[in-house]
Structure 1
Amino acid sequence: MDSSEAGGLQALATRALSGEQGAVADLLAAVRRLVHRYCRAKLGRLPGADHAAEDAAQEVCIAVLTALPRYKDTGRPFEAFVYRIAANKVADAQRASYRAPVPTDDVPDAATAEPGPEQLALDAFDAQTVGRLLDTLPPKLREIITLRVGAGMSAEETGRALDMTAGAVRVAQHRAMQKLRKTALEDASLQVAP
Structure 2
Amino acid sequence: MRDDVAGAAGQADPVEAEPSGPGHDPSYADSSYADPDGAVAGPGRPPVLGSGRPPVLGTGGSPLVGELVAAAVRGEGPAIDALLAYVHPLALRYCRAKLARLPGGARHHVDDVAQEVCVAVLCALPRYKDQGRPFEAFVYGIAAHKIADLQRAAMRGPGSTVVPQDDLPEVPDEALGPEEQALLSSDAAWAKELLSNLPARQRELVLLRVAAGLSAEETGEVLGMSPGAVRVAQHRALSRLRALAEESS
Q: TM-score range by the shorter chain?
A: 0.5 to 0.7
Shift of 1:49: 4.7
Structure with the largest fraction of helix? 1
Q: Does the alignment pair 1:97 with 2:154? A: yes
Partner of 1:161: none
The CA deviation string for residues 44-98 of structure 1, in whole angstroms up to 9 with x for no partner, is 1333355311111111111111111111112211111111111111111122222
Q: Does the alignment pair 1:77 with 2:134? A: yes
Match of residue 28, structure 1, among 84, 87, 105:
84
- Where in structure 1 are there 5+ consecutive unaligned residues? 104-130, 159-164, 171-194
Shift of 1:13: 0.9
Partner of 1:39: 95
Provide the C-alpha distance between the structure 1 equivalents of 2:106 and 2:122, rounded to a whole number of angstroms: 24
Root-mean-square deviation over aligned CA pairs: 3.6
Q: Does the alignment pair 1:64 with 2:121? A: yes
1 or 2 for the larger relative contact order (CA 8 Å, sep ≥6)? 2
Match of residue 133, structure 1, among 162, 167, 170:
170
Match of residue 216, structure 2, among 138, 145, 148:
145
Shift of 1:22: 1.3
* Amino acid in structure 1 at the alignment position of 2:216: I
* Amino acid in structure 1 at the alignment position of 2:171: L
Provide the C-alpha distance between the structure 1 equivalents of 2:64 and 2:158, rounded to a whole number of angstroms: 41
1:42·1:146 contact (CA, 8 Å) conserved in 2? Answer: no
Q: % of aligned pairs identical?
A: 44
- Where in structure 2 are there 5+ consecutive unaligned residues? 1-25, 28-58, 161-167, 177-208, 231-235, 242-249
* Amino acid in structure 2 at the alignment position of 1:132: P
The CA deviation string for residues 128-156 of structure 1, in whole angstroms up to 9 with x for no partner, is xxx513278769776242552231278xx
Q: TM-score, normalised by structure 1?
A: 0.56
Partner of 1:166: 237
Distance 1:4 1:102, change over 3 A: farther
Partner of 2:233: none
Shift of 1:18: 2.1
Bigger radius of gyration among the two: 1
Partner of 2:144: 87
Provide the C-alpha distance between the structure 2 equivalents of 1:83 and 1:32, rounded to a whole number of angstroms: 11
Aligned residues: 136
Partner of 1:51: 108
Provide the C-alpha distance between the structure 2 equivalents of 1:138 and 1:99, rounded to a whole number of angstroms: 33
Q: Does the alignment pair 1:10 with 2:66? A: yes
